[in-house]
Amino acid sequence: MSDSIVGAVVPTARARVALRPVDARGVQLEGGLLGERQRTNREVTILRGAEELERAGTFDNLRIAAGRTTGERRGMVFSDSDVYKWLEALGWELGREPSDELARLNADAVELVAAAQEPDGYLNSWCQVVDPAWRWSDLEQGHELYCAGHLIQAAVAQARATGDTTLLTVATRFADLIDESFRGGPQTGTDGHPEIEVALVELYRCTGEARYRELADTLVSRRGFGLFGHDRFEPRYYQDVEPVRGSRSIVGHAVRALYLAAGVTDLYAESADEQLLEAMLGQWDDLASTKSYLTGGVGSRHVDESIGDPYELPPDRAYCETCAAIASIMWNWRLLLVTGESRFADLLERTLYNGFLSGVSLDGRTFFYSNPLHSRGGHERHAWNPVACCPPNIMRFLASVEQHLATTSPDGVQLHQYAPARLTAGSAALRIETAYPWKGTVEIEIVGSGEEPWTLSLRIPRWARVATVDGKPAAPGGYTEVTRRWRAGDRVVLELDVSPRLTAPNPRIDAVRGCLAVERGPLVYCFEETDLPQGVDLADVTLDASVPLTDAGPVESLAGIQGVAAAGIVASLDGWQRAEYRDTRELSSPEDPRQASLLAVPYFAWANRGAGAMRVWIPHTG
Ligand SMILES: [Zn+2]
């Protein structure tokens, strides 16, 4: 291995990056919201993942491929990737803290994956078990390169986090075969589902072998020339409408588009091809200003699981796949490293606390695939899906979430996300104490430092209307820098105003015109049927925006989670029942409007008390 720090993204010394990740071994979450989610992931979710992969036949598929058992292959064509994402999670967890149980699960699965690999390096249980002649014949939907990408990411994570290169040996053998076939051999296509690009750049970073980066470049550069879209999907579904270097709009299948963008951004960092960065900044602007939900979720259409047109953001039909939220976080992290600009950390935070965290229940046992912003009831999390891409993706991300808190540069240390943690970066050691996101006070104590002065940079989120650093006003939407010759015991106190606020949508988003949303710090809130007075229908509730929002304190039925109190008006519109349309002359004011106190809860915590109605955007008066 050529790199010396642990993390999912480790740019080379030559990479064109403004900021560098902190060695993951130097970051420990100490409780708090993110720390608790990570602990539940380790103690509950990953273990359940093993059971579900067994139950779904996903391990058996590899056993059949390895010749250890017989039977029919089960599950989706891409289900090997579920094992790889789960193995990535195990790599991060075992690197953080030993566990006999996790180590045994990991060793068994890695041994199985290695045993299933063909002598020439090929590895895909669908092809091996169902139809050996199928190899590379269905690049549009076959997902062979997608699965290979997840294998590579798992292998790199394991090698870096634990030093065990067993899986890396498997992954490089497969990557070498892919390179021979796609760069030096007969295969002139590319992958229908991007993912391998981001993995190949990381494999280059991990091994120092330039051919993996060149293969990523080849696969990226082949898009946009009409390779795909001859099946039931169109070229835009596959990001194959125009060459990546000239594309300024983000289109098509959301997860495909965002994984591709993450890989292209990595490729820029390691190739300094400015056309790639220009395309990515254009696509990001398109996404952030017209195609993403308040929750950071991406994907407006169930049809083709795709990103919609600009401002096409219906709350009830929102697709917002959990994998798309993860892919968006991956992309924003890479753009942050490349540019050092806070807007990417802002969108990362919004997505992390809302569109991503909603994907797993508070007990860590059930999952959302789609994350709408409005449900009329019945949207429930599942223990596992036939398409099980999201659960193990959640596992690998939560297992590595602390990697996204901080970076370093020649100037010093930058804090992008706030959580109670200990952090070591070079000669600097910090302790961060905070009850964020519930409270806006963040105390940073310098535990150790070298002799030279350095700069501590603190992100001031754009949502913060009032912020101070050591009592001095700090401008939202950037970084406040404190430069000093630091001594152990020095403290810096950041105060962010996390009082609840009302948010209005861009009027061009027709689907939520006339509605408002409640936010508090980085959290988007929602209203759930279960919190309404008995017999009240959420559809009859209007927010009274003339009454200020107030903190409601901990919600009794959601341990440790803070609510927001709001005033509402309940008006059952009798005249409208059983009528879709009325002549306006027949309409009168609603009879018997009643005041009601409303409770809003964090969006990420919804559907933990039943699958009743929920809405983020709510009509308002006042
Ligand atoms: Zn998914």
Place of tokens 């996790």: 102
Distance 443 CA to ligand 1 centre (A): 36
Look at residues 544, 531, 500 and name the one whose alpha carbon lies nearest to residue 613. 531
Q: Which residues are catalytic?
A: 305, 389
Q: What pLDDT, on the 0 to 100 scale, is given for residue 341? A: 98
Give the type of residue at 81.
S
Distance 322 CA to ligand 1 centre (A): 6
Question: Per the omega criterion (within 30 degrees of 0), is the bond before 437 cis?
Answer: yes
Counting as low any pLDDT under 50, the low residues of the chain are none
With 0-12 / 13-18 / 19 or more C-beta atoms within 10 angstroms meaning exposed / middle / buried, residue 622 is exposed
Instruction: Mark 260-286 as b/e (b = at least 16 C-beta within 10 Å).
Output: bbbbbbbbbbbbebeebbebbbebbeb
Cα 152 from Cα 174, distance rounded (Å): 9
Look at residues 26, 6, 3 and name the one whose alpha carbon lies nearest to residue 426. 26
Q: What pLDDT, on the 0 to 100 scale, is given for residue 1? A: 55
DSSP 8-state assignment for residue 362: T
In the numeric block, which tokens belong to residue 358? 């909603």
**DSSP output for 95-127:** HHS--HHHHHHHHHHHHHHHHHS-TTS---HII
Cβ–Cβ under 8 Å, residues 258 and 334? no
In the numeric block, which tokens belong to residue 10? 């480790």
Q: What pLDDT, on the 0 to 100 scale, is given for residue 237? A: 94
Distance 394 CA to ligand 1 centre (A): 9
Distance 157 CA to ligand 1 centre (A): 20
How many other CB atoms are there within 10 angstroms of residue 405's CB atom? 21
In the numeric block, which tokens belong to residue 171? 């992954």
Cβ–Cβ under 8 Å, residues 318 and 371? yes
In the numeric block, which tokens belong to residue 42? 């380790």
Q: What pLDDT, on the 0 to 100 scale, is given for residue 591? A: 66
Distance 112 CA to ligand 1 centre (A): 24
Q: What pLDDT, on the 0 to 100 scale, is given for residue 612? A: 96
Distance 326 CA to ligand 1 centre (A): 9
Distance 81 CA to ligand 1 centre (A): 11
Cβ–Cβ under 8 Å, residues 168 and 176? no
Instruction: Mark 92-121 as b/e (b = at least 16 C-beta within 10 Å).
Output: bbbbbeebeebeebbeebbebbbebbbeeb
DSSP 8-state assignment for residue 377: S
Cα 336 from Cα 328, distance rounded (Å): 12
Q: Which residues contact 587 (CB under 8 A, 6 or more apart)?
A: 575
Distance 453 CA to ligand 1 centre (A): 45
DSSP 8-state assignment for residue 425: E
Distance 15 CA to ligand 1 centre (A): 30
Q: Which residues contact 542 (CB under 8 A, 6 or more apart)?
A: 568, 569, 570, 571, 618, 619, 620, 621
| Cα–Cα–Cα angle for 371, 377, 381, rounded to 5 degrees | 45
Cα 170 from Cα 181, distance rounded (Å): 17
Distance 490 CA to ligand 1 centre (A): 44
Q: What pLDDT, on the 0 to 100 scale, is given for residue 23? A: 97
CA 580 to chain centre: 39
Distance 385 CA to ligand 1 centre (A): 10
Q: What pLDDT, on the 0 to 100 scale, is given for residue 545? A: 97
Distance 591 CA to ligand 1 centre (A): 45
Distance 383 CA to ligand 1 centre (A): 14
Q: What pLDDT, on the 0 to 100 scale, is given for residue 585? A: 82
Cα 574 from Cα 440, distance rounded (Å): 44
Distance 257 CA to ligand 1 centre (A): 13
- C-alpha dihedral over 207, 239, 382, 395, to 10 degrees? 20
